[in-house]
Amino acid sequence: MTLPCIGVFDSGVGGLTVLKAMAEQISAHYLYFGDTARLPYGTKSADTVARYAIGAARFLEAQNIDLLVIACNTATALALPQITHAASVPVVGVVEPGAQMAAEVSQSGSAIVIATEATVSSHAYRDALQRHGLQAFEKACPLFVPLVEEGWIDHAVTEQVARIYLGEAMAASADSADVLLLACTHYPLIAPLLRRITPAHVKIVDSAESTARVVRGQLLEDPPRGEAQLSSNHPGAASSDHRTFRFFVTDSVEKFKRLATGFLGRQVDHVEHVDLGG
């Protein structure tokens, strides 16, 4: 059986949560590209983000991928149509899957979206949720990313910051929201902390997990080369015996290895430095 080859693109390490979620459900060959030399994307124009993302997509396509996952919220929000048009393989972003799952689980028709400043400013999740009939209350949480990258996953400071952010978000929604949508790929790492301090009636939707579900469904419907090894059961389906991982970064290999180990919960090897220029 030939396993599919899935390319995963992000501006840095956050997209590793998407990779981890997919690897738990799908046995495949995974190629991860982190454009670590040019992050953050949130400070750059839409045209620049599109140019960088298309360059990364073409690099991954040259490695013979069957499907491309844009695991970067900023790139998805600002440039998904351009990336999809430029790519010669199917492309999945992270915004629509998260909005779709939020719509499925919400009963009140109202959701809180927490994300970076750039993603909130793009209103990509607000627009996607509105297409699914949900009212969105967006809250930028700029301190979460540096706290996660510092490794303060369950730190008292992180909890205090989260209580402030979520308190403000819940107040803005007049407590009507029954979904908390994690619209940044760093945030799944603090999901247990967020669960502890979020009202019990509020469901937490993880855009990384939602994206993995969409990719899994797409491969089941249209296997690219042979069949992906998928279980009929939900998560934990894929056999770790068949997965392979390669990582490409545009900046420090050692720094990526250190951060990636925390994100994936496993030792990360096979990291290669590449220079796309521009």
Residue 207 CA to residue 211 CA, distance in Å, equals 6
Catalytic residue at 5?
no
The secondary structure element, H or E, covering residue 204 is strand 203-206
Q: Chain-centre distance of CA 144, in angstroms?
A: 15
Q: Which of 19, 31, 72, 260 is catalytic?
A: 72
Residue closest to 2 by CA, chosen among 277, 224, 188, 274 = 224
Nearest Cα residue to 147 out of 194, 179, 101, 108: 194
Distance set, CA 266 to CA 30, 104, 245, 263 (Å): 15, 32, 12, 8
User: Which is the catalytic residue, given 95, 184, 219, 259?
Assistant: 184
β 29-34/5-10 pair status: parallel
E strands present in 93-178: 110-115, 135-140
CA-based nearest residue to 70, from 12, 9, 11: 9
- 161: tokens are 């910051």
Beta bridge partners of 31: 7, 246
141 noted as active-site residue: no
Under a CB-based contact definition with an 8 Å cutoff, are residues 215 and 92 in contact? Answer: yes
Q: Give the residue numbers annotated as catalytic, written as ranges.
A: 72, 184
